[in-house]
Amino acid sequence: MTIQYHLKLKQGDVGRYVLLPGDPGRCEKIAQFLDDPKLIAQNREYITYTGTLLGERVSVTSTGIGCPSTAIAMEELIRIGADTFIRVGTSGGIQPGTKSGDIAIVTAAIRDEGTTRQYLPIEYPAVADPDVVIALRQAALKLGLTFRVGVSHSKDSFYGEVEPERQPLSAELTQRWRAWEAGGAICSEMEAAAIFIIASIHRKRAGGVMTMMGKDQGVPNDPEGMAGLHGDNAIRAAIEGVRHLIGHESVQ
């Protein structure tokens, strides 16, 4: 069997459902929510575990930071049989009133990054699959989470978002951020656009659920703040969302 160059995975190593954290360090934590999880492969920024939910095989694969490494993970996972993807991660809240720990359920992504321009013209939207969005929303409601549903902003520069005032393009970055806010975008992160565009090209399904950092609160550097931002709420919503999809599809 052909082993994928970057992920070091082959056909049969993953389930059709794959959770996609950016951070390799979160893979084991997410895998603990699965039944009988096993470490399958580890290479570069890519770590993969596979377990089961409701008897269906489900995998967790880290993507690393940003759209370039995420696109590689998507391409190789699709080659070996995965067809449903959920990004699980953190993001910066955009809308006023957002508090650290609130959940974003993403319906689409602003393509403010370079990778997806090498796949499709910028006019083509990066849109989540509606069934995945509905499953994640149902999960958040069931779990009693505070959440928003809406558009994410996918970008290439983390510090261009969190410290725009010190960048040479400060005025432009600030103006564009105000445009995303005025347009109703709910959060900003670095991977969703690639996941949605590549899923669309290959006729697969994708969605995203992310913990948000409170608007204007800055990146937390205290244990309590970090615990809130990197807590289990997004993971629990993703797991429950996959359960919803499996249960719904098993009766069709």
| Domain extents in the chain | 17-250
For residue 204, which of 128, 106, 116, 135 has the smallest C-alpha distance?
A: 128
pLDDT of residue 249: 80
Paired with 151 in beta bridges are 108
Mean pLDDT confidence for 227-238: 81
> CA 124 to CA 198: how far, in whole Å?
12
pLDDT of residue 3: 97
Arithmetic mean of pLDDT, 222-248: 82
Query: What percent of the chain lies above the pLDDT cut of 70?
Result: 92
Average pLDDT, the chain: 94
Look up residue 187 and give its DSSP letter: E
pLDDT of residue 161: 85
Look at residue 23 and give its three-state secondary structure.
coil
Fold category of 17-250 in CATH: Rossmann fold (3.40.50)
Contact call for residues 85 and 205 (beta carbons, < 8 A): yes
Which residues, listed in sequence order, are joined to residue 43 by a DSSP beta bridge?
46
| Token output for 249 | 């599809």
Average of pLDDT values for 63-68? 98
pLDDT at 251 over 60: no
Segment among 66-70, 98-102, 158-162, 207-211 with least mean pLDDT:
158-162
CA-nearest of 37, 31, 42 to 8 is 42
pLDDT one-digit tens code per residue, 185-203: 999 999 999 999 999 999 9
Q: Residue 54: what residue type?
A: L
Mean pLDDT of 34-57: 98
pLDDT at 54 over 60: yes
Contacts of 195 (CB under 8 A, 6+ apart): 20, 70, 74, 85, 87, 206, 208
For residue 224, pLDDT over 70 is answered with no
Range in 26-40, 73-87, 110-124, 230-244 with the lowest mean pLDDT: 230-244
Query: How far apart are alpha carbons 252 and 247 in whole angstroms?
Result: 9
CB of 115 within 8 A of CB of 191? no
Full-model pTM: 0.94
